[in-house]
Chain A
Amino acid sequence: MTKTAHHELVILGGGPAGYVAAIRAAQLGINVACIDENPRFGGTCLRVGCIPSKALLESSHLYEEARHRFADHGLKINGIEVDLDAMMARKDKIVDTLTGGIDLLFNKRGVTAYRGRGKLRDVESIEITPCGGADADQPTIVTADQILLCPGSVPARLPSVEEDGDRIGNSTTALSFPEVPEKLVVIGGGYIGLELGSVWNRLGSHVVVLEAFDRVLPGLDNEMANLAHRAFKKQGIEFHTNAMVSSARVDESQVKPCTVEVVDGETIYCDRVLLATGRAPATDDLGLAAAGIQTDRRGFIEVNEEFQTSVPGVYAIGDCIGGAMLAHKAMEEGIVCVERMAGIASEMNYDVIPAIVYTYPEIAMVGRTEEQLKEAGIEYKKGVCPLGANGRARTLGDTDGRVKILADAETDRVLGVHIIGPRAGDLIAEAASAMEFGASSEDIARTCHAHPTLAEAVHEAAMDVDDRAIHTA
């Protein structure tokens, strides 16, 4: 017999969009339920995205430091080895702890959790089919006053790349290779390809990045992307730009199990292939058609400014509606969407969403790039601080990098901040706060920054906007 339940708000998807929205809704006194088909809540970010990738980036970076940088500090170690199983186990434990944490939070806040595959039956009910496992059960049908769709995204596929989920796979596959591949081809020079490419490069793989465009890291400020590109090359990553992949397949008859063919280029034989050309909305099989919910031709759910879909009472946020596919964008939308349902006049500011690439060096940005400002015809001033002029960077032994602040030439309002270097991702937070408050570069310059810190480079760059930096000439 089918079980039934009713909630004021039912959220389909327990990733950063869904679980945050669920907790916020519960805080606001809404009877809320969250459905997720995976054994763990947390979505792509916690299970197979942000968190596991950052764990491996940190571990592999420490290995790199120990091998190449410890000597600079007068530290000699002999015979450092990689225990890949232990490294993976550490990563898995972090994922385990954090995803388990969501269950605790749901419990504490009174969010009803459903594990199973949810599909819209109509505009007010969802059928949940259990995905097996110990608590496998009959289907449940939940009805709701309001439905919030947060199905997220999946790695985009290419017809020419024959993924077998093992030798040729996506980011999820590349987070759990059973051994360090001797040669790894990464298709796509975006942040996912470069982060995971960096992990395996550091652990000893010969990494070849194939990028269809003439530059890596699309969306980032040109200058920062170029500096990063140069740094990655120096680290031993091989790049082929303007390289269109015509086919990739497993071919056991070759010496190397994978064959990658490039249009007008050489054929590359390698051990593993990571397809990282982008992500697509996970909006198939949600029953959107049954409920009359419209998507665009790429499958993104169309919403208005209130995050309402073409059907009143059904809302959508996160990766499935497009825009920046970032966890914090999805989380923010979750809070704003639910608060509005509760009558709070919450606002989403899409102009101030920081973005970070956790490579070494780290790259972070908020606001607009120089290219975007030029294209929009906005006159701007630029302030720069190279990290070589920063005392803290010197003590860390990490002086490659810079902070760049772009401010309106007339009003001095900060329009964009770009940072490349150690802890860029943490440093960008100050810039985001400043921009959220409508700060001018002078406002940042007049804020006392602790010494010695990397944050002083932000301070100096702000002063440099008006050519009054103290520590650079």
Chain B
Amino acid sequence: SDRAKFVMPAAQRLLDEHQLSASDVPATGPGGRLLKEDVQAFIRNGGK
């Protein structure tokens, strides 16, 4: 979704390193926050 998300700082770092966009990754944190662990899971699952 292109919905604006709040991205946690460590998640942003990981997104940047993997040239990902926050809108690609499903967020599971409180209040829809994108967590580091969300990005990790996304990468581990091969970008799904």
Contacts and interface: CB of A to CB of B under 8 A. Distances in A.
A446 B40 contact: no
A413 interface: yes
Given A446-B9, A446-B13, A440 B30 contact: no
Contacts of A163: none
B9 A411 contact: no
A97 B31 CA distance: 38
Interface in B1-48: 8-11, 13, 29-31, 33, 35-37, 40
A447 interface: yes
A101 interface: no
Given A440-B35, A443-B36, A412 B10 contact: yes
Contacts of B36: 411-413, 440, 442-443
A411 B37 contact: yes
Contacts of B37: 408, 410-413, 440
A436 B30 contact: yes
Interface string A439-458: 11011011100000000000
Contacts of B8: 437-440, 443
Contact of B35 (A410, A413, A436, A447): A413
Contact of B9 (A410, A413, A442): A442
A442 B33 CA distance: 15
Given A411-B36, A412-B37, A413-B37, A438 B29 contact: yes
A447 B9 contact: yes
27 contacts: A410-B37, A410-B40, A411-B35, A411-B40, A412-B37, A412-B40, A413-B35, A413-B36, A413-B37, A436-B30, A437-B8, A437-B29, A438-B8, A438-B33, A439-B8, A440-B8, A440-B10, A440-B11, A440-B35, A440-B37, A442-B9, A443-B10, A443-B11, A443-B36, A445-B10, A446-B10, A446-B13
A52 to B, nearest CB: 36
A446 B8 CA distance: 10
Given A411-B36, A437-B31, A439-B8, 11 more contacts: A411-B35, A411-B40, A412-B36, A412-B40, A438-B33, A440-B10, A440-B37, A442-B36, A443-B8, A443-B9, A443-B10
Nearest to A438: B29
Given A436-B30, A437-B29, A437-B30, A442 B35 contact: no
Contacts of B9: 442-443, 446-447
Nearest to B31: A437
Nearest to A349: B30
Nearest to B44: A410
Contacts of A440: 8, 10-11, 35-37
A410 B41 CA distance: 10
A447 B31 CA distance: 20
Contacts of A411: 35-37, 40
A44 B17 CA distance: 53
Nearest to A446: B9
A437 B13 CA distance: 17
A293 to B, nearest CB: 34
B27 to A, nearest CB: 10
Nearest to A411: B37
Given A411-B37, A413-B35, A438 B10 contact: no
B7 to A, nearest CB: 10
A165 B20 CA distance: 67
Contacts of B29: 437-438
